[in-house]
Structures are given as C-alpha cells and as structure tokens.
Amino acid sequence: MASLKDQLSGLVYSTEHGDLCPDCGYPIADCRCAEAAEEARLAGLDGIVRLRRETKGRKGKGVTLVEGVPLKADDLKILAKALKKRCGTGGALKAGVIEIQGDQRELLKAELESRGYTVKLAGG
C-alpha cells in the first residue's frame, strides 16, 4: 500500500490533457478503469441468473432483482428494457443488477429461460 504522502501527491490536472483519472493516472478520455471493472464483474459470475424478491429499504414495496446475467453493460441495458416491457412495469439497472417493480419472479424465470439462461429462484 502506498504511503499517505504518495496518495496525496498525485497529479489530478494537466494543462496538456485536462482532468486525469485518480486511479490510473491517464486522461479521463483515455481512462480504462470502467472497462476493467466491467471485466472483473463478468469474471466473477458463474453463469447462473438468480431472481430474488426484496422489500428491505423500500417502504414495504417489493421489487424483483435479476442478478448474475453474463452480459456487458450495454447489452444488459437492452435486456432490462425488454424485461420491463414484458412485465409491463418499471424498473432500473443498478451496478449490474436489474430491478423490476413488483413480484415478477415466475414471469421473469420463464422469459429468461426462453432466452437460454440457467435461472434459479433465490431467497424466500
């Protein structure tokens, strides 16, 4: 681990390139940190899509979470849109997890299996 002096003495702006990424030190336009994080997320998946219902922190409103889909961010966004349209509800894509409003586990399981994914219902 770098010392505190090394952590605080990094270059954050260059008149030649503009803002620099604090992690890799390259200009923001050339930064590859997001791609590296996406590759790490995909490498940690086991190929099984898990569906679970969650109400914690949502004032009692339930949502269905779709986790572990082995797709890149752009393709995941397209899949999320298709699943929301299929269910006829809203939802969101947050940190590689698709959130669909309501308890839609059975409908989503059938839809994902028809698309060729191995699906498990996780949680209660």
Give pTM, 2 decimals: 0.73
Query: Residue 60 phi/psi, 5° resolution?
Result: 85, -10
Q: Report CA torsion sign: 26, 31, 35, 38.
A: positive
Q: What is the mean pLDDT of residues 48-76?
A: 88
Residue 6 has pLDDT above 70, yes or no: no
CB 67 within 8 A of CB 83: no
Q: What is the per-residue pLDDT for 73?
A: 87
Residues 6+ positions from 58 with CB-CB distance below 8 Å: none
Residue 96 Ramachandran class (φ > 0 left, ψ -120 to 50 alpha, else beta): left
Q: Report CA torsion sign: 57, 104, 38, 15.
A: negative
- Measuring CA to CA, which residue among 82, 69, 76 is closest to residue 116? 69
Q: What is the rounded CA–CA span in Å between residue 47 and residue 52?
A: 16
pLDDT tens digits, one per residue of 45-61 = 888 999 999 888 778 78
Query: For the chain, what is the mean pLDDT?
Result: 85
